[in-house]
Amino acid sequence: MNMVTLTETFSTIRNVKVLVVGDLILDEYTKGDVDRVSPEAPVPILLVSQIFCLLGGAGNVACNLQALGADVCIVGRVGDDVDGGRLENLLHDNFLSTDGIFVQKDFKTPLKNRFIAAGQQLIRADYEKNTPISEKIEEKLKDFISKEISNYDIIAISDYGKGCISTNIMQYIINEANKYRILVVVDPKGKDITKYSGAFLLKPNQKEAYYATSSESCTPINDVADKIINQLNISYLLITRSKDGMILFDKDGFNENFEVKIKDVLDVTGAGDTVLAMLVFCLANGFTISNAIKLANISASIAIESLGCAIVKLSEVAKSLIDIDPLNKIVGDDNDFFVLKKAIDDNKVAVLYLEEQEELSNDIFCLIKDLDREKGDAKLIIHVDQKKCGTKIVNLLASMREVDFIVTSKEIEKFINHFSPIKVSRISKCLS
């Protein structure tokens, strides 16, 4: 399976607008140390050193989309309680508007408190009561969505089964989206999946897919997928399978496997949100469904290497693509400087100019290694003329761990001058 390249990933990216609708959850983290067992019961005593909150559920999807560069509008409900206020404050802190957030008085804002010591989750305490969305709040959501929907490129539905995504709301969104030819991508929950009929893509995990179809664990996954696709009028079904990757099915019977490469699994919290965010971001940018899933897979592998709900940036995706194939370091087209900017993020850069070289001497290798030690946190960019130096030399430089990017375009000066957010250290060398 061919991997999407770095240039393919970023060169077509534009400013997209995403409407996120779903269950809002307050994720609380209580961190500390454990050095003894309670004398009252055989349980560890957590000496608390830090308590903080993050946005979970649809809020985490919105934050991930924002980190990718999308303009996001979030729609949902909170309860008339302290946790609802804390959640709205977090939205403000993350520069997300609360215009689409409505308060339901008889609803308890969902709170998940994770108790953590030495990077490990000891226990999770959930404070919630699944309350159906009231007719009043349902109408407010519909009114807000009807006024805003035409302004957005794609819609992400984050259904955590807390009651916000009712059948009425779901079908209303799909019907309105179809009027404007806007794709609807759903992360579903629960037994009744008929409410998602008409969506563009449904993304259950394997357990949810089997539960929704009342299938035995021994049932082939292709049969489970057929049941869902035949029951719903959807274009694609993407079943996520944790360490086993993902499988894409379509209504014509086609399926494709997507493997995932994971280094260390620290915490799977919010990985599904990260996948949903990257999927809708890529689809809104016109990526093929296959490339969108490959990048979502990479994003998920990054997310589960962090504790808690991770926010994955494009620069992290770029690094992963480079780890997969060092040739992704090579930026040749003048139009691809956007690629470089996204990949470098806000780091400083050091630029090494190599003149015409027929071969790489030991002096050049030593120089590069010296620069790697001297440049600190800066990214090392080597500028070469590929026509004069040759493809072999360019590829060899790209294979070096110390080299972050190779630029073969003559327009590098324009790029450096344009890169005002980054302090550029220019290093010019001419080696015979």
φ, ψ dihedrals at 376, nearest 5°: 65, -125
The C-alpha atoms of residue 213 and residue 123 are separated, in whole angstroms, by 31
CA 50/CA 328 separation, integer angstroms? 40
- Marked catalytic residue, from 27, 153, 187, 273: 273
| 18 contacts: CB under 8 Å, gap ≥ 6 | 65, 70, 71, 72, 73, 152, 153, 154, 155, 156, 280, 281, 284
Q: Give CA–CA dist 204/227, Å, rounded.
A: 13
Closest listed residue to residue 270, CA positions, set 379, 340, 391, 187: 187
Task: Indicate if 80 belongs to the active site.
Answer: no
Structure-token match 């900017």, residue found: 341
Question: Which active-site residues does the annotation give?
Answer: 273
